Structure 1
Amino acid sequence: MTQLTDSCDYAFAQAHFTPARLWEFFDGDRSHFNIAHECIDRHAADPARLAVRVAHADGRDELITFRAIADASSRIAHWLAARGVGPGDRVAVMLDPSLPFYAAMFGAMKRGAIAVPLFTLFGPDGIRLRVSDCAPRVLLTNAEKAPAAQGIAGTETVIVDDAFMAALAALPTEYVPDTKADDLALFQYTSGTTRELPAAVKHTHRSVVVLMMAALYGTGIRPGDQFFCPSSPAWGHGLAHGTLAPLAMGVTTGTYAGRFDAARLMRALQDFGITNLSAASTHYRMMRTNGGAGGFTFAIRKLSYTGEPIDVETLRFIDETFGVPACSMYGTTEVGVALVNYPGATDFRVKPGSLGKAVPGLEVQVQRPDGTPCTPGEIGEIRLHRRGEWVPTKDLGRIDEDGYFHHAGRADDVIISAGWTMSAVEIEDVLMQHADVREAAAIGVPDPVRGQVVKAFIVSHRTGDEAFTRELQDFTRARLSQHEYPRQIAFVAELPKTPAGKIHRKAIRDAEAARRVTA
């Protein structure tokens, strides 16, 4: 029988994919289904089979087998049961990628509790907001973070260290899960600021079934791949696409732990012999600006990115460094992956910078506010057709004459000046092509004549004087339209980022609004 993993090609996907076939990847069904079993236990028969490679920032490489995670997660499940943690209770896990992290996360789900991975770089406010929101029975963390989490009513903070893991050794290494496909398994917080807590996205155990669509066509994972995703498993990309998807397919995955360093990442890609890389746009930019890529040898055959568009200079760097096309993977935490570039497909032309085309079986349109479809080149909102209705994404985009989708920013990133509609993303992309611009962000600011004008915030090693300002304005105007350039430019030391590494335009807009009030 033909398997969905037999080919990466676009025509093959269109011919053979149906949603029902995603269940072929798993042991369970709707009545009996558990993520820990599907991602870990069923692949643990061979004690040497590698599940995760962790590149630690301090230079250590940690190699973790499926068997090690299966045994340790079963012990965690027994430990939770002895503490009275039962099905539906939340278990927060704030640890860097490591055996304790995977044991805790999968152990909670094995028990039938709900795992809540938390970013280890959260400060006290970020921790308390999320813990107060999800009300976990237990928070498993390290000694450094424990003081910031202790004292929250109803939550027991437990330090997971060598002594804790050693004490678990007395517990059994077998635990039989008893969960259904529609039972809740994971709460995942999207990357907002500590003052603006996004609601937790709630995933059931069956969510890993739908996730296979992104694995097949967004990251192009196939048996035999040496996969790596440097995004933290506290965020959607690192958790869903970097952890659950490859492990569910029995594919060894890799990740990064600790303070990010581009040179350390590139050394891991080389030393691990990585053939399939999926990273955030920021990771590729940081590898480019590091300047040391030429000192490494890479074996990458498939490459994908997500999070935000990639500028032209970074796309050029990817092409020159890795020799494979950069395949965008677009979706939202709430609705999943929708637009992909089919990494590894020999019959799919990747248009640099585009979002690609819809995953098999999903209808996607760019629509006007009244719900009618936009014509090629016309900017509208990207919407997905699901369960008989069009679901908004709050992202703007356009299609081209070949049916490829292109991102045009968030709906609140549109700048309307003197009746002209401009995209912050396009302006930023042009600014990033200037040799002296390291980072750029564009927003609309009030103007008494034009309604709004573009203001750009620039990070550069050059002095931000009037001559540089005019140079950047002329540079942008020559590449876009005569009206489409930043009339105001501010030079800054850094740009605010979300915890996931995306440029935080809302924070820039809020700071600019506050500055204008006090000016």
Structure 2
Amino acid sequence: MAKLTDYTSYADAQTHAGSAALWELFDGDRDRLNIAHECITRHADGSRRPAVRIAHADGRDEILSFDEISAGAARFAHWLEAEGVRPGDRIAFMLEPSLPFYVCLFGAMQTGAISVPLFTLFGPDALRLRVDDCTPKILITNSEKAEMARGMDGIRVVVADEGLLDVIAEYPSSYAPRSKADDLAVFQYTSGTTRELPEAVRHTHRSLVTLMFAALYGTGIRPGDEFFCPSSPAWGHGLWHGTLAPLGLGVTTGTFAGRFDPVRLMQALSDHKITNMSAAATHYRMMKNSGAAGDFTFHFRKLSYTGEPIDPGTLDFIDRYFKVPACSMYGTTEIGVVLVNYPGAADFTVKPGSLGKAVPGQVLQAQRPDGTPSAPGEIGELMLWRRNRWETTKDLAKIDADGYFYHCGRADDVIISAGWTMSAVEIENTLLKHPDVQECAVIGAPDATRGLVAKAFVVSPRAPSDAFVKELQSFTRERLAQHEFPRIVEFVSELPKTPAGKVHRKILRDREAAKAAELAD
């Protein structure tokens, strides 16, 4: 009998995709399900088939098999029980992708404990906020971070090194999980500033099943793919789309460890003949800006991206060097993936810059403030039909005549200046077409006369000058509208980014608001 993984077309997705068909992809059912079993244990057949390829920043490649991770996770699960860990306890770990990372991730979930991945670059303030929030029974980290963590009261710190692997080696290499599908499995923190703790999104083991909509139609994963996702598995994209989704289908995945280097990434993509990659928009942009893509041979059949729109210049780069369309995948940690471009579907046209269309079973609209649907081409608030009502995504979007959605920025990225409404995203995309603009971010800056004005923060190899500012302003006005251009341009060496790699416009807005407040005083 055919499964959803046997179908690749858009038409088949609309015909066959549904809840019952998703459950057929797993051993578990609506009562009993365990993520660790579905992603690792059931694929450990003694063949030492690769589960994860890790491209280390120092040039090393590390390959971990399903068998190796399965045995280690089972031993870790037995060790946790011996240490008094019980179902519902939180086990936090702050580790780069490595054998200990995957052993901890899946071992904790096997016992019914809750895995809490934490970003390795967190400082003491960011770590303290999350530890206070989730109150883990144990925090597992590397020797470098252990000293910082031990300085916090009420937390047991374990160093994940060869010593830990030696300790758990005495335990059995198999474990029978007893979790229910609705038991909590993961606490996932979204990226944010250290002073503003985003609430942990609580995922059950059942979340793996609904995740498959994103896997099948957002990243296009199918058995036989050689997959790679360079996003950190401490964040939603790297964990769910880059790790759990491919492993849940028995597909070998790849990831990056250490300080990100776009040239090192391209080397790994070439060496391992990666056919399917899902990455953040920033990753693609950094590969373009490296100027080194021509040094490698690529084997892509499917590409996807998430986090924020990709500018036209980067899309041109992808077409030139990767030779397959980049497919946007839109969603959030809270609502999941809801708009996709069906990578690999021969009957689905990918429109450059589009968010695509809804995943099977989802209904979305761009709406006016009065709740009526926006006309084609008209910007409105992107709304999702869920729980018998419209729920906001806090994003703006427009729909074209063919039903494709286009992202128009966050609701707070709209700039109303002297009565004119402008899109920060449109101004950014236009500036990025200029050959001397590598990166940019546009916000509304306070202005005594106009209320707000568009201000652009620009990263460029070209020396700043008044002439360059005027050139960029003219470049934008000629391509958008006479009122739609950055009245202020500030040249910066880098843009603030969230740990997940997205431009952190809130930091820029807060800085400008603070400057305005100082001037007012």
Deviation at 1:167, TM superposition (A): 1.8
Aligned 1:91-130 pairs, distance under 5 A: 91-130=91-130
Q: Is the 8 Å Cα contact of residues 278 and 304 (structure 1) preserved in structure 2?
A: yes
* 1:238-273 Cα distance to aligned partner (Å, 9 max, x none): 000000000000000000000000010000001111
In structure 1, what is the equivalent of residue 171 of structure 2? 171
One-letter identity of the residue aligned with 2:18: T
Secondary structure in 2 aligned to 1:96? coil
Q: Is the 8 Å Cα contact of residues 136 and 154 (structure 1) preserved in structure 2?
A: no
In structure 2, what is the equivalent of residue 17 of structure 1? 17
2:65 matched to 1:65? Answer: yes
Whole-Å separation in 2 of the counterparts to 1:254 and 1:147: 30
Aligned 1:450-465 pairs, distance under 5 A: 450-465=450-465
* 1:205-242 Cα distance to aligned partner (Å, 9 max, x none): 00000000000000000010000000000000000000
Whole-Å separation in 2 of the counterparts to 1:442 and 1:118: 30
One-letter identity of the residue aligned with 2:152: I
In structure 2, what is the equivalent of residue 362 of structure 1? 362
In structure 1, what is the equivalent of residue 510 of structure 2? 510
Deviation at 1:12, TM superposition (A): 1.1
* 1:67-113 Cα distance to aligned partner (Å, 9 max, x none): 11110001110111011111000000111001110000100000110
* 1:27-81 Cα distance to aligned partner (Å, 9 max, x none): 1112211100010000001332111000011111111011111100011101110
Out of 212-221 and 20-29, give the one that drifted further. 20-29
* 1:108-128 Cα distance to aligned partner (Å, 9 max, x none): 000110000001011111111
Whole-Å separation in 2 of the counterparts to 1:8 and 1:239: 24
One-letter identity of the residue aligned with 1:436: D
One-letter identity of the residue aligned with 1:36: A
One-letter identity of the residue aligned with 2:336: G
In structure 2, what is the equivalent of residue 228 of structure 1? 228
In structure 2, what is the equivalent of residue 310 of structure 1? 310
One-letter identity of the residue aligned with 1:65: S
In structure 2, what is the equivalent of residue 485 of structure 1? 485
In structure 1, what is the equivalent of residue 395 of structure 2? 395
Whole-Å separation in 2 of the counterparts to 1:2 and 1:318: 34
Whole-Å separation in 2 of the counterparts to 1:170 and 1:491: 58
Aligned 1:147-166 pairs, distance under 5 A: 147-166=147-166
Secondary structure in 2 aligned to 1:104? helix
In structure 1, what is the equivalent of residue 278 of structure 2? 278
Q: Is the 8 Å Cα contact of residues 328 and 355 (structure 1) preserved in structure 2?
A: yes
Whole-Å separation in 2 of the counterparts to 1:2 and 1:390: 35
2:432 matched to 1:421? Answer: no
One-letter identity of the residue aligned with 1:193: T
2:474 matched to 1:439? Answer: no
Normalising by structure 1, report the TM-score. Answer: 0.99
Deviation at 1:294, TM superposition (A): 0.3
Give me the CA root mean square deviation: 0.9
Secondary structure in 1 aligned to 2:144? coil
One-letter identity of the residue aligned with 1:364: L
In structure 2, what is the equivalent of residue 33 of structure 1? 33
Deviation at 1:151, TM superposition (A): 3.6
Out of 64-73 and 146-155, give the one that drifted further. 146-155
**Structure 2 stretches lacking a partner, 5+ long:** none
Deviation at 1:361, TM superposition (A): 1.3
Normalising by structure 2, report the TM-score. Answer: 0.98
Secondary structure in 1 aligned to 2:24? helix
Deviation at 1:353, TM superposition (A): 0.6
In structure 2, what is the equivalent of residue 339 of structure 1? 339
Q: Is the 8 Å Cα contact of residues 94 and 140 (structure 1) preserved in structure 2?
A: yes
2:423 matched to 1:411? Answer: no
Whole-Å separation in 2 of the counterparts to 1:402 and 1:483: 29
In structure 1, what is the equivalent of residue 249 of structure 2? 249
One-letter identity of the residue aligned with 1:289: N
Whole-Å separation in 1 of the counterparts to 2:47 and 2:128: 39
Deviation at 1:446, TM superposition (A): 2.3
One-letter identity of the residue aligned with 2:97: P
Aligned 1:36-51 pairs, distance under 5 A: 36-51=36-51
Secondary structure in 2 aligned to 1:107? helix
Deviation at 1:381, TM superposition (A): 1.0
One-letter identity of the residue aligned with 2:67: R
One-letter identity of the residue aligned with 2:250: G
2:76 matched to 1:76? Answer: yes
Alignment CA distance shift 1:8-1:300 (3 Å): same
Runs of 4+ displaced beyond 6 Å: none
Deviation at 1:387, TM superposition (A): 2.0
In structure 1, what is the equivalent of residue 259 of structure 2? 259
Deviation at 1:153, TM superposition (A): 3.3
One-letter identity of the residue aligned with 2:116: V
In structure 2, what is the equivalent of residue 210 of structure 1? 210
2:192 matched to 1:192? Answer: yes
Secondary structure in 2 aligned to 1:501? coil
* 1:437-485 Cα distance to aligned partner (Å, 9 max, x none): 1111111122233222111111111122110010000000011111110
Secondary structure in 1 aligned to 2:143? coil
One-letter identity of the residue aligned with 1:198: P
Whole-Å separation in 2 of the counterparts to 1:237 and 1:357: 19
Whole-Å separation in 2 of the counterparts to 1:82 and 1:48: 28
Whole-Å separation in 2 of the counterparts to 1:46 and 1:309: 42
In structure 1, what is the equivalent of residue 144 of structure 2? 144
Indicate the percent of aligned positions where both proteins have the same amino acid: 67
Secondary structure in 1 aligned to 2:510? helix
One-letter identity of the residue aligned with 2:257: A
Q: Is the 8 Å Cα contact of residues 137 and 154 (structure 1) preserved in structure 2?
A: no
Secondary structure in 2 aligned to 1:398? strand
Q: Is the 8 Å Cα contact of residues 3 and 25 (structure 2) preserved in structure 1?
A: no
